[in-house]
Each structure stands twice: as C-alpha cells, then as structure tokens.
Structure 1
Amino acid sequence: MNISGNTIFIPGATSGIGLALAVELQARGNTVIVGGRRAELLERIAAEQPGIDTVQIDTTDAASIDSAAKEVLAKHPDLNVIVTMAGIMRIEDWHRPESFLASAEAVLTTNVLGPIRLIAAFIEHLQAQPDATIITVSSGLAFAPLKVTPSYNASKAAIHMLSESIRLQLADTTVKIVELEPPAVRTSLLPGQENSEFAMPLDEFVAEVVALLEAQPDAKEIQVERVKFLRYGEARGDYDQVVQTLNAADPHGK
C-alpha cells in the first residue's frame, strides 16, 4: 500500500499499537478513523488527536460491526484501507476446562471471528476501489507458541493462514492483503507487558512498521527485525530452540 493518501479504518485502536499506528498514519497524510467499544476513550482521542475520526464498534458483536461499517462508509465513501487490529490475549491453564474454555471462546470470537466479520462488512466496497488494502494482524506467536497463551497462539496462526488464503482468492481484484506480524510490544495486552524488558518499545515498533510500509509498498508481510526470531525458526531449523527460548524468557511475550 502507499504510505499516504489513503482513508483508513482501524477498529480496536483506542490504545496500544492501534492508536499509535493511527496517529502516525494520520501524520503521514492519511485520513484515519479509529474504532473502539468505549465511548469515553473515543471522545478523548477525538479531543487529543484533531483530524482523527472515531466510531463506536464492538468487534465481538456482528450487529455492531454492520452498524459501524455503514456509519464509516457513509462518512468516508473513499475508504480504501482497513486494519483488523482488535484483539485480546489471555493466560490459560488447559489442565481443567473451567480454567480455559470461556477464555478460549472469547479469544477466538475477538481475534478470528472479529476480523472475518470486519472483512465481510467491507469487502464489496473495497473491491470497488481502484487501490485497496486489508491489513490483518497476526503475531510472532503464530509461528512459535508461548505456553501460557494457547488460544491466542492458535487465533494468530488462523489469521496467518486466513491472510495467505484470501490473498490468493483476491488476486483478481484491486484488494491487497498485508499481514502485520508483531513481536512482543510494550502495550497492556497482558498485565505488566507495557513494562516488560523483553517487549519492544511501542514507538520503536510503530516507527519501524511505517518505515517498512513506505519502503515495501508491495509487501505481503510486515515483519520488524525482532519478530524474525519467531517467524523463521522452522525455516532456519532451530524451531525447538526458539520455543524453548521463548518460554524460558518471557511470560508476557506477544
């Protein structure tokens, strides 16, 4: 995708990576719409970030997605980029169903069904644009598992394969599929992660992502250097060592 001149909708961007990316993309000459569940956070963003539009959306609710999509497209008929940012991460213990079942259902609803429903809500509009992009958000943990977050790992592996698959199907359209693959980043995705020494500083991550988008407009995957340890363990032949290192180092890894 081009780094400027777009109209971009980022649901799940009231904090963390999503908000930081929204601010940077708006500064690069894009029209940006931020979506989130909490009205008070959206109001604060609108006050603190003039020029960024906001819309209330709950990506776990199909009706909310449909309503928000109609609102966004009515206000911004030139929308040509969506970033399926919304996601949750939960620590789970799979020894007993009461310790993981509800968590797993919530994670998969948010992290897998949410992006699928978002794409469904916008795909016909995007195909009518001369140049459009869907940015999906997986994780380094799609490629190497963190022991304490099984459902999150699985959800991000699903997003990776979904991205690969729909890229093939949409090759005959104007819609590009770009997969963003974060490493651990200093956000509140897990308790304490925003202060984790193992996680990448948020501003450094977003700066590198935007630089990669600018330098590689035809990229299929956006990978900062720090995620490649996880992303390519199997290809390098050191997958078992990657998994061991990951799980020995950081209980808050993304």
Structure 2
Amino acid sequence: MNLSGNTVLITGGSSGIGYALAEAFLAANSQVIVCARDADRLLDARARHPSLHTWVCDVSDEESRRNMFDWVADSFPGLNILVNNAGIQRDIDFTHGIDDFQSGENEIRTNLEAAIVLCGLFIPVLAKNRQAAIVNVSSGLGFVPSARMPVYSASKAGLHAYSMAIRKQLSSTGIQVFEIVPPAVDTELNPLGRAKRGRFKAGLSAATFVESVMKKLEGDVLEIGYGATEDFMRASRAELDRHFERMNP
C-alpha cells in the first residue's frame, strides 16, 4: 500500500486506534475522513487537525450509515481506502440468561454487520479508484476468545472470516483486503469491563501500535498482528486451545 495520496474513510476515528490511524494517514499526506457517534469528539479531532473531514455516524444504524455513504460517495468520489474500525466491547455473563446481552449495545451489529454493510456499499466506489483497499480491524480475541467477552469475541472471529472470504472474492477487482489484529491496546474500549478488573490498562499505546501497523500496510502484509496476536494468527488448533486455557483460567 502506498500510504500517501489516498482518500481514506475511518469509522470510529475520533479516538483510540481509529484516531491514531487518522493521524498516521494525515502525516503520510493522505486525505482523511473520520466518522464517530460523538459530535464533540469529532470537533476536538478537527480542532487538532483542521484538514480532517468529519461526519457524525452511528455505524450500527442503517439510516445513519446510509446517510454517511451518500455524503462520502458524493463529496469524495476518489475514496480508495475504507477502514472498518468502529467497535464496542462488553462483558456479558450468559449464566444469568439473556438479559445481560439484551440490556446494552449490540456488538454483532456494530462490530460485524456494520463492516459487512459498509463494504457492500463502498466496494463499487473503491473499484473505480486506483490502489483501492479495505482494512478491517478485528482482534486477537477473534482467534483466542475471552469467556468474559463472548459476543465481542464471536463478532471479531466473524470479521476475520469475512475478511478472508472477501479477499478471495475481490482478488480480481484490484481491491486489496487487509486485516489488522490488535492485542490489548490502551484505548477507551469496554470502560465498564476494565473498571471491574481494577482499572485495567494495557501497556501498549494506540500510537505505538499504529506505527507498526503502518509499516506493515506499506509492505502489503495482508494480516497484521502485534506481539501475542502474531502468535495467535499462526498457531495450530492445539496451540490456540492452550492460549485459551491460559487466558480463561
């Protein structure tokens, strides 16, 4: 991937990994559009980077993401990179039945369905432009699931499978499909769950992680891990089972 001269749309781009990716693409002299649900955070992001284009969007909502697609397709017909980064993570305990799952935001809709729909919407736009790419941000938990976060883990496993499948489907179109597989990164993901675990804080910053990611994107590495997730991506089933037991004592 050539990091410069692109027009890039990043979902969930006002904080965390998405914001770090936005900064990195801007630094590489690409045009960047970010969407997020929080208008104030988008204003803050644009205040720090006036060249950033922003749009308020809840990617889990059909009308909201369709409105964003219409705006982007009309205003940025040269869009050549879509980054599906928006995601939510929740601790859900099914020993209490279904109530815990139904009482909060839907991880499947945000983490998996939104990425699938946005790919479907934007592929005709991407196919018209050179050096087109889709970048899906999954998770190490898509390879080794967490018992505390079963739905999040399942949604990211689904995104991994989808990324593999459309990479094959799109191989004749000129659209590359990348998958970024983060380990635990210091972001605001799952604040309630992290608070339960004593204000858990990952030791890896989003900026440091993205610095590594950008180098691998530039090298056309299609599945991008970091640290433990590089091991997960290459592990045998027996090794994955051992990782699972260690992660879920």
TM-score norm. by structure 1 comes to 0.90
- The alpha carbon displacement at 1:30 in A equals 0.7
Match of residue 79 from structure 1: 79
> Residue 208 of structure 2 aligns with which residue?
204
Secondary structure of the structure 2 residue equivalent to 1:79? coil
- 8 A contact 2:185–2:206 mirrored in 1: yes
Q: Residues 92 and 103 of structure 1 are in contact (CA less than 8 Å); yes or no, is this contact kept in structure 2?
A: no
Which residues of structure 2 form unaligned runs of 5+?
Answer: none
- State the match for 2:241 in structure 1: 240
Rounded to whole Å, the distance in 1 between the matches of 2:71 and 2:149 is: 35
Q: 1:199 and 1:233 mapped to 2: Cα distance?
A: 23
Q: Deviations over 1:107-147 (max 9, x none)?
A: 10111111111112211111111220000111111111111
Counterpart of 1:251 in structure 2 is: none
8 Å CA contact 2:183, 2:227 repeated in 1: no
8 Å contact kept, 1:144–1:243? yes
Amino acid at match of 1:240: D
> Cα RMSD between the aligned structures?
2.0
What residue in structure 1 maps to residue 148 of structure 2?
148
Change (3 A) 1:223 1:111: same
The one-character-per-residue Cα deviations of 1:41-88 (angstroms, maximum 9, x if unpaired) are 111111111211111111011111111111112221211001001110
Q: Is the 8 A contact 1:112 1:158 kept in 2?
A: yes
Residue 197 of structure 1, CA deviation: 5.3
Q: 2:227 aligns with which of 222, 225, 234?
A: 225
Structure 2 counterpart of 1:252: none
Bigger Cα displacement from structure 2, 168-177 vs 81-90: 168-177
CA distance in 2, matches of 1:79, 1:232: 32
Task: For 1:62 and 1:163, locate their aligned partners in 2 and report how far apart those are by CA, in whole Å.
Answer: 21
Q: Percent identity among equivalent residues?
A: 35
Residue in structure 1 matched with residue 182 of structure 2 by the alignment: 182
The aligned residue for residue 123 of structure 1 is 123
- Report the Cα offset of residue 105 of structure 1: 7.0
Q: Which residue of 2 aligns with 1:25?
A: 25
Report the number of matched residues. Answer: 245
1:68 aligns with 2:68: yes
Distance 1:198-1:96 versus aligned 2 partners, 3 A rule: same
Q: Give the AA of the match of 1:138.
A: S
Separation (CA, whole Å) in 2 of partners of 1:145 and 1:242: 9
- SS at 2:32 equivalent: strand
Instruction: Tell me if the contact between 1:229 and 1:242 (Cα under 8 Å) persists in the aligned partners.
Output: no
The amino acid of 1:244's aligned partner reads E
Q: How far apart in 1 are the matches of 2:129 and 2:103? A: 38
Q: Check whether the contact 1:104–1:151 (CA below 8 A) recurs between aligned residues.
A: no
CA distance in 2, matches of 1:210, 1:201: 14
Is residue 2–residue 131 contact of structure 2 (8 Å, CA) maintained in 1?
no
Q: Quote how far apart the aligned CAs of 1:198 are.
A: 4.7
- Which 5+ residue runs of structure 1 have no aligned equivalent? 249-254
Please list every run of at least 4 consecutive aligned residues from structure 1 whose deviation after the TM superposition is greater than 4 angstroms: none
* 3-state secondary structure, aligned to 2:10: strand
| TM-score (ref. length: structure 2) | 0.91
**1:149, distance to aligned residue in structure 2 (A):** 0.3
1:231 offset after TM fit, Å? Answer: 2.6
Which one-letter code corresponds to 1:207 in the other structure? Answer: E
1:40 and 1:173, CA in 2 relative to 1: closer, same or farther beyond 3 A? same
